[in-house]
Amino acid sequence: MSESQEPREDHPSVGGWSPAQRVDALGQRLRLLHVHAHPDDESSKGAATTAKYEAEGVDVVVVTCTGGELGDVLNPAMDRPEIVANLPEVRRREMDTARDILGIDQIWLGYCDSGLPEGDPLPPLPDGSFATLDPAEAARPLVKIIRRLRPHVVTTYDERGGYPHPDHIQTHRVTMEAVRQAAVADHLPELGPAWQVPKVYYQMTLTAGRWHGLNEAMKAQGLEGAYDERLAHHPVDEAYQARITTRVPCADYFEVRNRALLAHATQIDPHGAWFACPLDIEKVAWPTEDYQLVINHTDSTVPEDDLFAGIALARPQVG
Q: Has 271 been labeled as part of a binding site?
A: no
Q: CB pairs under 8 A, 24+ apart, for 252-258?
A: 252/14, 252/52, 253/14, 253/47, 253/48, 253/49, 253/51, 253/52, 253/55, 254/48, 254/279, 254/282, 254/283, 255/279, 256/12, 256/47, 256/48, 256/51, 256/101, 256/102, 257/43, 257/47, 257/48, 257/51
Q: Has 233 been labeled as part of a binding site?
A: no
The span from the CA of 51 to the CA of 257, in Å, is 8
Alpha helical stretches, state H, the chain: 41-44, 47-55, 81-85, 87-102, 135-138, 140-149, 166-182, 208-220, 228-233, 238-241, 254-263, 279-285
Q: Has 290 been labeled as part of a binding site?
A: no
The span from the CA of 115 to the CA of 283, in Å, is 34
Residue ranges of the annotated binding site for Zn(2+) are 38, 41, 168
Residue ranges of the annotated binding site are 38, 41, 168
